[in-house]
């Protein structure tokens, strides 16, 4: 059986798309710390969120960004930034 070049190109493009979109890449806790310190730390203490599941924190942040959850100030974060902040918050001690 011979693999067609078009099939290889489609598979490679799909894999690259997943990598670029961040779906496969791990969140960056160091970048999340910078954002947390800049945006969140004035009102929130990290210890209140440390150890919570990343998925729960990410969901909550997405709801705040989408204005589906009440928050003192409007957040403007993209999906990568949300993942980074959630990762930092969940892994901090």
Which contacts qualify for 51-59: CB closer than 8 Å, 24 or more apart? Answer: 51/90, 51/92, 51/93, 52/89, 52/90, 53/90, 54/27, 54/83, 54/86, 54/87, 54/89, 54/90, 54/91, 55/86, 57/85, 57/86, 57/89, 57/90, 58/82, 58/83, 58/86
Position 50 scores a pLDDT of 85
The rounded distance, in Å, linking the Cα atoms of 27 and 86 is 8
Position 78 scores a pLDDT of 96
pLDDT digits (tens, 9 = 90+) for 9-63: 565 555 555 454 444 458 999 999 999 999 999 999 999 888 899 999 999 999 9
pTM over 0.85: no
Locate the domains of the chain by residue range.
27-91
Query: Which residues, 6+ apart, have CB-to-CB distance to 67 below 8 Å?
Result: 74
Per-residue confidence band for 93, with pLDDT thresholds at 50, 70 and 90: confident
pLDDT digits (tens, 9 = 90+) for 26-41: 899 999 999 999 999 9
Domain with residues 27-91, CATH architecture:
Orthogonal Bundle (1.10)
């Amino acid at each position: 059986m011979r693999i067609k070049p078009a099939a290889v190109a489609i598979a490679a493009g799909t894999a690259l798309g997943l990598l670029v979109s961040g779906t496969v890449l791990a969140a960056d806790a160091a970048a999340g710390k910078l954002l947390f310190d800049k945006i969140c730390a004035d009102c929130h203490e990290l210890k209140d969120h440390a150890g919570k599941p990343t998925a729960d924190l990410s969901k909550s942040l997405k709801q705040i960004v989408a204005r589906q959850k009440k928050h003192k100030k409007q957040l403007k974060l993209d999906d990568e930034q949300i993942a980074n902040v959630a990762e930092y918050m969940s892994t901090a001690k």
